């Protein structure tokens, strides 16, 4: 049981995640990715006559079950297999974030920024609502999410996925180094 409760090194976890691609391709000719789940959910639940949602979403119902499995796995991992120790963060990162007022590192996300009461502040709105919108917009604009492009697209040698993944990384680096310090001061 201790093996499951501890973080796994990258050289074990990475190949296990990477093996998802050939398993999905071999067992059902399915592509790995999670961003299309929202479209399938909307197509199933919204009876409106919107062109974007008019397709046979039932063919993709396996993707809904895949997302449900991710959610269930997250709950099981959180409530049954979580290590009681706090997340191991580099002390230099902690010191830098403390300069910007982030003090609570007890959970997976800093509670000073990501909690329900922060949602009604400018900083919380920017991080959770505006950030969520930008992630959703970017995912649709890029034709998929980071997992779909970086794991599925690159492993199947798709040039657009390599370009998208490089853009995701550059955008993430620029945001964390240049934009995040200003956003944390809101």
Measure the CA dihedral 65/67/70/72, to 10°: -60
User: What DSSP assignment string belongs to 1-35?
Assistant: -HHHHSPPPHHHHHHHHHTHHHHHHHHH-----ST
- Band (142; pLDDT cuts 50, 70, 90): confident
Distance CA 98, CA 92 (A): 10
pLDDT in tens, 61-112: 888 888 899 899 989 888 888 777 777 888 998 898 899 888 888 777 888 8
pTM of the model: 0.72
151 close to 21: Cβ distance less than 8 angstroms: yes
Question: Where are the domains positioned within the chain?
Answer: 1-85, 88-186
pLDDT in tens, 98-122: 998 888 887 778 888 888 888 888 9
pLDDT of residue 71: 92
Distances (CA, A) of 34 to 12, 51, 63, 65: 22, 21, 8, 11
Average pLDDT over residues 36-53: 82
């Amino acid at each position: 049981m201790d093996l499951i409760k501890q973080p796994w090194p990258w050289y074990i976890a990475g190949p296990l995640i990477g093996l998802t691609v050939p398993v999905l391709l071999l067992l059902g000719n399915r592509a790995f990715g999670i961003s299309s789940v929202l479209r399938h959910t909307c197509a199933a639940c919204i009876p409106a006559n919107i062109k974007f949602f008019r397709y046979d979403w039932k063919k993709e119902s396996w993707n809904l079950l895949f997302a449900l499995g991710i959610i269930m796995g997250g709950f099981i991992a959180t409530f049954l297999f979580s290590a009681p120790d706090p997340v191991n963060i580099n002390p230099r990162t902690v010191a830098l974030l403390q300069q910007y007022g982030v003090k609570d590192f007890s959970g997976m996300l800093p509670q000073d920024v990501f909690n329900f009461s922060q949602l009604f502040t400018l900083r919380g709105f920017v991080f959770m609502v505006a950030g969520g919108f930008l992630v959703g917009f970017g995912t649709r604009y890029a034709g998929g999410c980071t997992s779909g492009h970086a794991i599925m697209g690159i492993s199947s040698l798709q040039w657009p996925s390599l370009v998208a993944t490089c853009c995701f990384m550059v955008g993430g680096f620029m945001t964390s180094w240049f934009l995040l310090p200003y956003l944390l001061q809101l």
